[in-house]
Amino acid sequence: MPVYRIPANHVWFPNAENFDGDIVAVGGDMSVSHLLVAYSRGLFPWYNPGEEILWWCPLQRCVLYTDELKISHGLRNTLNRKTFTCTMDKAFEEVMEGCRQPRQGDPSTWISDSFMESYGELFQQGYAHSVETWKDGELVGGLYGISLGRVFFGESMFTRESDASKVALHYLVTTLRKLDFAMIDCQVYNRHLGTLGARVIDRTQFLSELETGLEKPIIRGSWSRLCP
Q: Name the segment(s) of the chain with CATH classification 3.40.630.70.
A: 63-226
What is the percentage of the chain residues whose pLDDT exceeds 90? 86
Mean pLDDT on 8-13: 86
Q: Are strands 183-187 and 60-65 parallel, antiparallel or unpaired?
A: antiparallel
Report the alpha-carbon angle 135-163-114, nearest 5: 80
CB atoms within 10 A of CB 77: 11
CB atoms within 10 A of CB 184: 27
Is pLDDT of 227 > 80?
Answer: no
pTM of the model: 0.94
Is pLDDT of 225 > 90?
Answer: no
Q: Name the segment(s) of the chain with CATH classification 3.30.70.3550.
A: 4-58
pLDDT digits (tens, 9 = 90+) for 73-109: 999 999 999 999 999 999 999 999 999 987 665 555 6
Mean per-residue pLDDT over the chain, rounded: 93
Rounded distance between C-alpha atoms, residue 95 and residue 164, angstroms? 12
Look at residue 91 and give its three-state secondary structure: coil
Mean pLDDT on 136-156: 97
Instruction: Give the N- to C-terminal CA distance of the chain in Å, as an integer.
Output: 48
What pLDDT score was predicted for residue 72? 94
Report the alpha-carbon angle 45-206-43, nearest 5: 15
Sign of CA dihedral 207, 213, 165, 145: positive
CB atoms within 10 A of CB 119: 25
What pLDDT score was predicted for residue 2? 85
CATH architecture of 4-58: 2-Layer Sandwich (3.30)
HSE (side-chain half, CA atoms, 13 Å) at 124: 8
Which of the four pLDDT bands, split at 50, 70 and 90, describes residue 226?
confident
Farthest CA pair distance, the chain? 54
pLDDT digits (tens, 9 = 90+) for 147-196: 999 999 999 999 999 999 999 999 999 999 999 999 999 999 999 999 99
Fold observed for domain 63-226: Aminopeptidase (3.40.630)
Q: Are strands 138-148 and 128-135 parallel, antiparallel or unpaired?
A: antiparallel
